[in-house]
Amino acid sequence: MSQANVEIAKRARDAVNRLDVDACYECATPDVEVFSTLFDLAGGSYRGREGIETLLGNIRDTFEEYRVVADEFRDLGDRVLMLGRVEGRGRGSGVQVDTPYGTVSDFRGGKISRIRTYLDHGETLRAAGLSE
């Protein structure tokens, strides 16, 4: 089942890159919770479909171009680790962004139930219980 989780994590990443709320939500449980380091809500999270809509809206409002590039996915059973980077260009400012990026996605019933994002690969690995 866990290799299937990797495929779902890849589909979710592709949906985020397209800013496709419906496709993102199809990969998630109804109560999905996303902790985003790029759009931190003072330590809070985005929850459910409304949270996905808000998060993708924040990306759309902030970036003229935005793309998560995954270099590696790791199957961790009921979790999937992704290491890569975010590339983009700020809306209005035109500032180029190219920063390390990682996610730890928790799964429940074949869907993503929680995603934690990081701007440091070491931090991502530690959050997954792995060493650098």
Q: Is the pTM of this model over 0.85?
A: yes
Query: Could you report the per-residue pLDDT of 3-54, keeping only the tens digit for each?
Result: 999 999 999 999 999 999 999 999 999 999 999 987 775 567 899 999 999 9
The per-residue DSSP string of 30-84 comes to EEEEEE-STT-BTTB-EEHHHHHHHHHHHHHHHEEEEEEEEEEEEE-SSEEEEEE
Which residues face 34 on adjacent strands? 46, 115
Query: Could you report the per-residue pLDDT of 67-107, keeping only the tens digit for each?
Result: 999 999 999 999 999 999 999 999 999 999 999 999 999 99
